[in-house]
Amino acid sequence: MKINKSYIFLKGIRFYAYHGVAPQENLIGNEYIIDLKLGVDISKAMQTDEVTDTVNYAEVYNVIKTEMDISSKLLEHIGKRIVKKLFKQFATIEDIDLFLSKRNPPMGADIESAGIELHCSRK
């Protein structure tokens, strides 16, 4: 069997955090949702059944949580920090697709969420 591309994903990660441009956002906070897709060669882990031969989901979550705990004005800034930290901490990650959204942003609109989408490669 030939694997053309393989991914690890974490979908619908929810955080309550204190990000935003408006002062009240830093006081009352909001709910944020992250979907993450990591381009990783998982072929060795498929053979060995060992977590050390892949990227550990729990460790990825901890990186994201650490960055979400740091207050920022912009989702763009948070997204950059998450991607940089994941590339730094996990040498086997080849590329990252990150979707970060803020639920019910305070912008005077009837809107479910607003956010960013990043598609990044290590090179």
Catalytic residue numbers? 102
What is the rounded distance in angstroms from the CA atom of residue 106 to the CA atom of residue 20?
Answer: 9
Q: What is the DSSP string of 9-25?
A: EEEEEEEEE---SSHHH
Provide the 10 A C-beta neighbour count for residue 86: 22
What is the β-pairing status of strands 30-40 and 93-103? antiparallel
